[in-house]
Amino acid sequence: MELNIVWFVLIAVLYIGFFVLEGFDFGVGILLPFLGKNDTERRAIINTIGPFWDGNEVWLLTAGGATFAAFPHWYATLFSGFYLPLFLLLMALILRGVAFEFRSKDDHPLWRSTWDWIIFGGSLAASLLLGVAFSNLVKGVPIDANMQYVGGFFNLLNPYALLGGVVAVLVFTLHGAIFLSLRTSGDLLDKARQAANRLWLPTVAVSLVFVVSTYFATDILTHLGVNPGPIPVLTTVALLLSGWFARRKHEGWAFAMTALAIAATFISVFMILYPRVMISSLNPAWSLTIDNASSSPYTLQVMTIVAVLLVPVILLYQGWTYWVFRKRIENKPEGLTY
């Protein structure tokens, strides 16, 4: 297998890992002001993701760095064309991270409430922007023969992309509600279960509308055919099963199903893209591909050696973190860090 294909797959894996892991803590952040009715409950909610949220974001940073090194033309076109949305995404992630750390610095209710709403806003904005961005990648954006984005900000705010943003918000919120049902106890556990049950049906409905829209808004029919294979179908099946398991209080299986649905969704995204990395809506021949956007073979060789040495260590460390902090959070002030 050629190294540019290997790195396309690895970058896809990094983004998928990010969305599966960061997706649930985006969801937890969105649910924070609604499920937490007092300071202790909100602290407990934040503590469910406290050990994980910053490590989860490393997947996005690594994906961006790998894109820069392996496919510099992709990186240049993406970050110049999507400059404003990516800037807003960065601000949302920064403010959200600051809020996690600053919230506990003062006991004043207004201080803590302000940071809680910043966590909510940052989580919501990041989810929406990421959904819009990836929907545009699948749909195609105006790129000229020089690999330059020639559209404007409002080109990115088309109905299909906005629908994709809404789907991302709903799916991540459902993912977060089920995660909370795994990590909380007492009244919070009951609230998390209720939230998951209420979110499931609208999430499935909007997701199905988005799937149908994909056949009209993208070139999936010409690229993959009417039957795109089992993986996109798996997305719908997993999402349906997540609700079935959640209603029977099998939170572990429900969480596995939402994680599988997210993973299958983004596998489908990269299936639609391949061998392209950015689709030109002006002329298919002007699309960026893994061939015309990649680095030199030597660069890819060096990157591969580094990845083989370091990635297993990182995976083991993050897996160990999840194992150490696997227990449920008690809804009691003592023992809460955030």
Q: Alpha-carbon distance 79 to 208, whole Å? A: 30
Please report the pLDDT score of residue 37 as a whole number: 87
Work out the percent of the chain whose per-residue pLDDT is above 70.
Answer: 96
CA 59 to chain centre: 10
Q: Is residue 325 part of a domain?
A: no
pLDDT at 120 over 80: yes
Answer whether residue 329 is part of any domain: no
Tell me the per-residue pLDDT of 135-170, one tens digit each, with 9 for 90 and over.
999 999 999 999 999 988 888 999 999 999 999 999
Bigger pLDDT: 144 or 338?
Answer: 144
Nearest of 271, 150, 180, 178 to residue 220 by alpha carbon: 271
User: What's the chain's average pLDDT?
Assistant: 91
pLDDT digits (tens, 9 = 90+) for 15-42: 999 999 999 999 999 999 999 888 889 9
pLDDT tens digits along 49-87: 988 888 889 899 999 999 999 999 999 999 999 999 999
Could you tell me the CATH number of the domain that includes residue 101? 1.20.1630.10
CA nearest 42: which of 128, 124, 109?
A: 109
Residue 149 pairs in a beta bridge with 143
Q: Using 50, 70 and 90 to split pLDDT, how confident is the model at 225?
A: low
| Domain containing residue 138 | 3-309
- Reported as a pLDDT band with limits 50, 70 and 90, residue 279 is very high
Between the CA of residue 317 and those of 20, 29, 265, what are the distances in Å?
17, 24, 26
B/e letters for 111-145, b = 16+ CB within 10 Å, e = fewer, are ebeebbebbbbbbbbbbbbbbbbbbbbbbbbbbee
Is residue 258 domain-resident? yes
317 falls within a domain: no
Residue with the larger pLDDT of the pair 110 and 232: 110
pLDDT value at residue 215: 87
E-strand ranges in 64-123 read none
State the distance between the two ends of the chain, measured CA to CA, in whole angstroms: 47
Strand partners, 141: 280
User: Which comes out higher in pLDDT, residue 215 or 27?
Assistant: 27
Helix, strand, coil percentages in the chain from 3-state DSSP, rounded to 5: 80, 5, 20
pLDDT band at 119 (very low <50, low <70, confident <90, very high): very high
Answer yes or no: is pLDDT of 220 > 90.
Answer: no
pLDDT confidence of residue 104? 85
Q: What percent of the chain has pLDDT over 90?
A: 71
Residue 204 pLDDT greater than 90, yes or no: yes
Long-range contacts of 81-89 (CB under 8 A, 24+ apart): 81/141, 81/143, 81/148, 81/149, 81/151, 82/133, 82/136, 82/149, 82/156, 84/153, 85/129, 85/132, 85/133, 85/153, 85/156, 86/129, 86/133, 88/125, 88/129, 89/125, 89/126, 89/129, 89/130, 89/133
Q: Report yes or no on whether pTM surpasses 0.85.
A: yes
pLDDT value at 327 more than 90: no
- The yes-or-no verdict on residue 228 having pLDDT over 80 is no
User: In angstroms, rounded to a whole number, what is the distance separating the alpha carbons of residues 147 and 327?
Assistant: 49
Q: Is residue 324 part of a domain?
A: no
Does position 330 have pLDDT exceeding 90, yes or no? Answer: no
Q: What three-state secondary structure class fits 331?
A: coil
Q: What is the mean pLDDT of residues 187-202?
A: 94
For residue 168, being part of any structural domain is answered with: yes
- pLDDT value for 174: 97
Check residue 54 and give its pLDDT. Answer: 85
pLDDT for res 291: 92
Q: Is residue 320 part of a domain?
A: no
Distance from C-alpha of 13 to C-alpha of 19, rounded to nearest angstrom: 10
Q: Is 251 exposed, middle or buried (0-12, 13-18, 19+ CB in 10 A)?
A: buried
In which band, very low, low, confident or very high, does the pLDDT at 106 lie, cut at 50, 70 and 90? confident
Q: Is residue 283 part of a domain?
A: yes
The count of domains in the chain is 1
The pLDDT confidence band at residue 261, using thresholds 50, 70 and 90, is: very high
Residue 143, SS3 per DSSP: strand
